[in-house]
Amino acid sequence: MTSTEELLKRIDASWHKLRPALIPGQLDSRVADGRTVKESLATIAFWNETVAPVFAWMRGEPELPASEWYGGGDLGIGDGDPWPKDDVHHAREAAWARSVSDGEVLTRLDHAHERAVATVATLTADECRPGPGPADNTSIGPGHPWARLTSNERMVSKANSCTYQLYDALLEQLP
């Protein structure tokens, strides 16, 4: 399994490839899924923002209110509401991006990235180690990619999928 230091280096390397390519006024080109770069960046910012509350949940800490972690306009999920499918999040964030300037999207992205990195930096050696941590499947359906992972493996998977994997995927699509 990846150590925290290795994970942070991987995130940093991807970020430093992507971030210089993001220029205000040049974020209107479309990527493979039909969204603009700007809309995609808002979605990436959202997933970066989810790292801290998901880590808190996995650690059994109190749930963070959306107002403390969400940087968009309106998360649109009330207390006790189920977590929507990814497409719902992507559509909401794309709509938010269309309503604000490139600079606002980039500022949110920068803040979300910084917070995700700070959260990933809190991973302990035990949390980076595969098994034998508990496999708590609360709120995770059998088809979810995390269904067979231990809590520790889920934390690393969350860090990977919400940071550098998104950065690399977008970077491959930039004109």
User: pLDDT for 109-139, tens place per residue?
Assistant: 999 999 999 999 999 988 877 654 444 545 5
pLDDT at position 131, please?
Answer: 56
Cα 151 from Cα 139, distance rounded (Å): 13
Structural domains in the chain plus CATH codes: 4-22+36-76+88-173 (1.20.120)
pLDDT at position 31, please?
Answer: 94
pLDDT at position 145, please?
Answer: 54
Residue 105 pLDDT > 60, yes or no?
A: yes
Q: Encoding tokens for residue 104?
A: 């606002």
Residue 104 pLDDT > 70, yes or no?
A: yes
Contact 24, 102 (CB under 8 A): yes
Residue 151 φ/ψ, nearest 5 degrees: -55, -40
Q: 94: Cβ–Cβ under 8 A, 6 or more apart, which residues?
A: 35, 36, 39, 42, 43
Of 145 and 166, more confident = 166
